[in-house]
Amino acid sequence: MSDIIKLLPDAVANQIAAGEVIQRPASAVKELLENSIDAGADNISLVIKDAGKALIQVIDNGFGMSETDARLSFERHATSKIKSADDLFNLSTKGFRGEALASVAAIAQVELKTKVEGNDLGTQIIIEGSEVKEQEVCSCAKGTSFSIKNLFYNVPARRNFLKSNPVEVKHIIEEFQRVAMVHADIAFSMYNNGNEVFNLKKGSFRQRIVGVFGERYNQKLVPVEESTDIVSVIGFVSKPEFAKKTRGEQYFFVNDRFIKNSYLNHAINNAFDQLLSKDQHPSYFLKLTIDPAKIDINIHPTKTEIKFEDERAIYAIIRTSVKQALGKNNITPTLDFEQESSFNVPLMRSTEHIKAPTIKVNPSYNPFATKSSESSSSKPESTKNWESLYSSFETETTQLTSDFENEEVEPLEDQQVISTSWEDEEHDEQQTLIQLHNKFILGQLKSGSLIIDQERAHTRILFEQYIKNFALGKGTTQQLLYPETIDFTTADAELLNELQQEIKTLGFDFEKMGKSSFVVSGVPAELKEQNVKQIIEGLLEQFKLNESELKLKKHENLAISMARSASVRSGKKMSYEEMKALVDQLFACEMPYSLPNGKPTIITLNLDDLNQQFDY
């Protein structure tokens, strides 16, 4: 039998390769956008027509290409980004395989225009089915413009395989979002059939997320930040109340590259733990930065899957940092993190022979930060790291228990335990004040305990004070160092004008300036550094609501509206002094136990009842 093996012509080899790299218009979009980023552009536009089937054009202001490079860029394995296999472990660019342009050129009609800085003229190349049709000098702007026309024109089977236009556009938008989101320092725009879909200015990561997903995302995001030797994590998770029934926006970026990873996704779900029900999914936008030597991006042509050397440690770090972020924002529902330790530690003292507690004692303790980077350079070592995580917890906790025995416990950092002698009957009962969930204050009485709702308590205190102001005809004003000019809606400006006299009695000092602006030069003394605009707007809002629904008297309405607007909110962490002042002031009120609408401010837990509950 004669020899039958033949080398495939380049055009055919490229077409086959294209099958892996370019599956649909969205894949070509991704490759072009990534090339523009690698070219150092800070302004990138994407234009598509007919869902990318007729045209995909990407225009950038990056460093462009010389005439020779322009021609070479379409060759397979032609890349400026790596020189040797070693470079694969030190990648700082998106591309490196040198096959995207070769692939695209094999299955479409491609027009390239490019010019490097300082040259008068650029290069234009037209290439179709891997065949160069035209190459000439052209006049164009600095940077590069690629137009991909009639994708899959010569591979009918693939063209027929494409989905409907809305589906393909959706894929393109997804790809665009993934790239744009993580490069907030680059301006991006996108046009579909001549209509602007995105116009994203440079800004912060948060601004970019909001730019991509809409203004309402601003209030949904909880910042996450953690830096360790293995990985640094920065970004946002959604507050649990905004969780979605479908897998919402879930974005992991590793070294600015979007990746999919179900294991790490699990770490986040785990951090949300009891905050979400089974059918709810958190949104997240997390950027991981990691030594490129410790990841392998080259396991799939589209580079959306990567291998981590320290996967388990990264899992733990992500889980901890998300959990901590949720905890800091007071969204953990149970006694967890700060609350967990502050609650359990003092109680532990009474149990003499108890074993070392297994709870975490220091919420800001970071088991990963202290590990040297070389100790995590190989898999077995990193597993050791992982195990040492537990052993260091153990040392910490053992240490703590022995401290207790010596009766020399300093209140732990970041905790809200005030009394070091929780069950000491002799001490001043006011000393024991613990903030729970940044919402309630737990205090001890001889006859039991009381729980105070901090927001309601403060509302009651302020309400009585404002009623007093009206009776005296005057409140105490604190002059602002810098008077603030505030613009209101026309309706609010009208109302403010109408209530001017009364609002001044509350302690505000302001003058009308222009149609709907006011200059505020003084605020009620107890407001301190709060946002004046927000408070006045809140006051007017409440006033309007009460007026229509409760028909309150003007003074009463203003007093309660202002109290509501200015009171400390649930969710605010309070120092011991603040809690003590609040409790003292509450008990100095005429009617400390409820709000004017009858809602309780305090509930008490009678000691006898408690004993009964525990079956004593």
Query: Among residues 100, 104, 230, 316, which is the contact residue for Mg ion, using CB under 5 A?
Result: 100
Tokens at residue 241, please? Answer: 């109340």
Half-sphere exposure of 374 (CA within 13 A, CB side): 0
Stretch of residues binding ligand ADP (CB under 6 A), selected from 97-105, 267-275, 375-383, 538-546:
97-105
Ranges within 80-99 binding Mg ion (CB under 5 A):
95
- Min. distance of Cβ 176 from ligand ADP in angstroms? 16
Please choose which of ligand ADP, Mg ion, none residue 79 contacts, taking the beta carbon within 5 to 8 angstroms, the exact cut-off set by kind. ligand ADP
Closer of 13 and 445 to ligand ADP (Cβ):
13
Instruction: Determine the size of the site formed for ligand ADP (CB under 6 A).
Output: 22
Contact letters (x/-) for Mg ion, 24-43, by CB under 5 A?
Answer: -----------x--------
Q: Are strands 307-308 and 295-296 parallel, antiparallel or unpaired?
A: antiparallel
Residue 106, H or E segment: helix 100-107
Closer of 65 and 495 to ligand ADP (Cβ):
65
Q: Which long-range contacts (CB under 8 A, 24 or more apart) does 181-186 make?
A: 181/205, 181/208, 181/209, 181/212, 181/251, 181/253, 181/258, 181/285, 182/251, 182/253, 182/256, 182/257, 182/258, 182/287, 183/37, 183/208, 183/256, 184/208, 185/42, 186/37, 186/41, 186/42, 186/43, 186/44
Tokens at residue 115, please? Answer: 């010019």
Closer of 143 and 282 to ligand ADP (Cβ):
143
Closer of 112 and 539 to ligand ADP (Cβ):
112
18 binds ligand ADP (CB under 6 A): no
173 binds ligand ADP (CB under 6 A): no
Query: Among residues 53, 97, 294, 371, which is the contact residue for ligand ADP, using CB under 6 A?
Result: 97
Instruction: Determine the size of the site formed for Mg ion (CB under 5 A).
Output: 3
Please choose which of Mg ion, ligand ADP, none residue 212 contacts, taking the beta carbon within 5 to 8 angstroms, the exact cut-off set by kind. none
Closer of 35 and 376 to Mg ion (Cβ):
35
142 binds ligand ADP (CB under 6 A): no
How far, in Å, CA of 99 to CA of 106, rounded? 11
Query: Among residues 14, 15, 27, 35, which is the contact residue for ligand ADP, using CB under 6 A?
Result: 35
- Min. distance of Cβ 133 from Mg ion in angstroms? 22
CB 237 within 8 A of CB 229: no
Ranges within 59-88 binding ligand ADP (CB under 6 A):
60, 62, 64-65, 73, 78-81
377 binds ligand ADP (CB under 6 A): no
Buried b (16+ CB within 10 A) or exposed e, 370-394: ebeeeebeeeeebeebbebbeeebe
CB within 8 Å of 362: residues ≥ 6 apart: 341, 396, 412, 413, 414
Please choose which of Mg ion, ligand ADP, none residue 230 contacts, taking the beta carbon within 5 to 8 angstroms, the exact cut-off set by kind. none
Half-sphere exposure of 334 (CA within 13 A, CB side): 8
Number of H helices, E strands in the chain: 18, 22
Strand partners for 436: 440
Which residues make up the interface to Mg ion (CB under 5 A)?
A: 35, 95, 100
Contact residues for ligand ADP, defined by CB under 6 A: 31, 35-36, 39, 60, 62, 64-65, 73, 78-81, 95-102, 144
